[in-house]
Each structure stands twice: as structure tokens, then as C-alpha cells.
Structure 1
Amino acid sequence: MSAAKRVQQWATFARTWHIFDCKWQDPYLSANVIKKYLMGMHKPIYHPMNDCGDVVVCINSRDIALRGDDWRQRAYFHHTGYPGGASWTLAWEVHNKDPTMIIKKAVYRSMKGNLQRRHTMQRMLIYPGEEVPEDIMQNVTNQIRQLRPVPTRLDHIPEDEVKKYPKVMEYPEDYVLK
């Protein structure tokens, strides 16, 4: 085997480190994308019985965006294993206790039917903010594209750019908003 083919084979079977920014992303749509990288479904050598997945580092899990009224309506089930130990917790309560838990549960649930999902989840690192340890960031070589663009807040746009933006109409000086 030539040296070039050997390096190509090593690169194919090596675990790549990816980073995903969860800011303003729906965790359940993002989970399907993250799952593909964790399980190795994006590689040409993928097989369900083959453990060829990569490592995914998720940042900004504190800033996820659930759809509609899901913060108040979606509930998560937990059972302690003891009689009467079942409980349902609302999404906002789970997120306040642990800002990484909703992403973790969404990705775990998206891998339904995968018998190795507990082992696969160990390759996923989740951080609530942008602070990631330096030794982990040294391993990251790829960025997973976000599903939806993060909108820019109006107070973060420079004042001169706001003034240059074309106006639909000019209000008279004596106009009063009710």
C-alpha cells in the first residue's frame, strides 16, 4: 500500500472533532444533524454495526430556542427507580437546573433504535456558554453549520447603519402613537 493510500485510510477511520453552536437553534432539529456526526453517518464507511462516529462539541446550549409555547408545555419524564419515583418536569425548569440537559436528551432520543447510543453519547461534549477548555479546542478541526441563522439584535447594529437604512415612510413631527 502506498503512503498516500495509507494516510487516506487513516483519515477515513480517524475520529474527527466537530463543533456546533446551539445559539438560537431548535434542539430537536439540531439533534438530527448532531446524530449523523456522532454515529458516523456522514462517512462513506458507515455501517450500523460499525463504531466509526466522531466527537461533537456543542457550545451555547444555554441559548437554545424552542418552538412556540414549548418552554411551558413540553415536559420531560424522569424515574428514580423507586416506587412512586416518577416525575414530569417542564422544559423551562429542566433548562434552569441544567442548561445542557435539553440538548443531551434531544440527541439521545434522536438515536432511537441504536443499541450503542449510551456509548455514542460519551463522545458528545456540551457547554452552556462559549467557554471551552483549551485542550478540547485544540482537537476541533471542523464546524457543523447551523440550521437557521442567528438574528442580529437591533441594539447591536451600529447607529449610522440604522440611519442609512431606507425608510418606508416619514412620520410628521406632530404624529402621536397611541
Structure 2
Amino acid sequence: MSSARRVQQWVTFGRMWYLFDAKWQNPFDASTKIVKVLSGSHKPIYHNDIDCGDHVVVINSAQIALPGDEWERRVFYHHTGYAQGASWTLAHQVHEKDKTMVFRRAIYHALDTSLLRHARMCRLHIYPDEEVPEEILRNVSAQLRQMRAVPKRLDHYTEDEVKNFPKLFEWPKDYVLET
């Protein structure tokens, strides 16, 4: 068997580690992409009953973005198990307590409700910022693309970029903007 074939089999059967930057990403849209990697459905050997998924390291989960007023509309349900133990918490309150919980719950609910759900969630590593332990970062071998581009803030543009930015029309030199 050739060495290229062995490498191909190792990539197929081995567990890869992927890095996903959650900065300015909607966790409920990104969860569909991450669930494919956690469950292994992106591999040619995928089967529902086989646990062949990969690890995913999510960074910057403190900087997620929800569209519109979803921070105030989205509610997370929890029950203690006791009578009248139900509670509903708004997304922004959950995010203030734990910066990784909104992303974790989005992926948890996107996974299939099978006995493999717990094992797949154990391969998910979420960090609120870019500080990841070295022993985990050492394993990362690929990166998942973001769903949407991170916008650049206006104060991060240089003077030259602002001056050379294409303009629809030029103001006359003697024009004074009245306030």
C-alpha cells in the first residue's frame, strides 16, 4: 500500500481538530456547520450509528452577534426537576453569566437527539476569548471558515485608506456643511 493511501486513510479515520472563530457570528447559523464536523457527516465513512466526528475548538464566543432584537426575544428554558421549578432566561442574561453558554446551547440543540449527543458535545471546546491552552492549540490542524465576514470598524481604517476610498461624487472645495 502506498504512503499516500495510508495518509488518506489516516485523515479519514483519525480525529482532526478544527478551529472556528465565533467573532461576529450568529451561533444558531454557525451551529449547522459545526454539527457536521462534530458528527462526522463531512467524511466519506459517515453513518448515523458510528461516532466518527472530529474535535472543534471555538474561540471568541464572547463576541457573538445575534440579529435584530434576538438578544431580548430569545429565551432559554431550564427546569430544576422539582415542582414549579421551571425558569426562562433571556439570551443576554445567559450571555452575561457565561460567555460560552449561548454557543454551547445552540450546538447542543442542533445535534441529533441520539445517545451519541453527549460524546459529540465532549469534542466541542469553547473559549470566550483567544486564550486557548497550549495542549489544545497544539492539536489544531485545520480551520473552519466563518459564515459571515467580520466588519472593520471605522476607526481602524488608516488615513490613506479613507482618502483613496471610492466616492460617488466630490464636494466642491468651497462647500461648507452647515450644522
**What range is the shorter-chain TM-score in?**
over 0.9
Report the Cα offset of residue 3 of structure 1. 5.0
Q: Aligned runs of 1:63-78 on 2, under 5 Å? A: 63-78=63-78
TM-score (norm 1): 0.93
CA distance in 2, matches of 1:11, 1:30: 24
Q: Does 1:110 align with 2:78?
A: no
Moved more, 75-84 or 32-41: 75-84
Q: Read off the aligned partner of 1:95 and give its amino acid letter.
A: H
CA distance in 1, matches of 2:145, 2:7: 27
> Which residue matches 2:177?
175
> For structure 1, which runs of at least 5 residues remain unmatched after alignment?
none
CA distance in 1, matches of 2:176, 2:149: 39
> Which residue matches 2:165?
165
Report the Cα offset of residue 80 of structure 1. 1.2
Report the Cα offset of residue 173 of structure 1. 4.0
CA distance in 2, matches of 1:150, 1:55: 24
Specify the SS of the correspondent of 1:30: helix
Report the Cα offset of residue 163 of structure 1. 1.5
Q: Aligned runs of 1:17-56 on 2, under 5 Å? A: 17-56=17-56
Q: Read off the aligned partner of 1:151 and give its amino acid letter.
A: P
> For structure 2, which runs of at least 5 residues remain unmatched after alignment?
none
Deviation by residue 1:129-177 (Cα, 9 ceiling, x = unmatched): 0111111111000000001110111101111211122333416543213
> Which residue matches 1:57?
57
Moved more, 50-59 or 159-168: 159-168
Q: 1:8 to 1:167 in 2, by over 3 A?
A: closer
Aligned length: 176
What is the alpha-carbon root mean square deviation over aligned residues?
1.4
Q: Aligned runs of 1:131-150 on 2, under 5 Å? A: 131-150=131-150
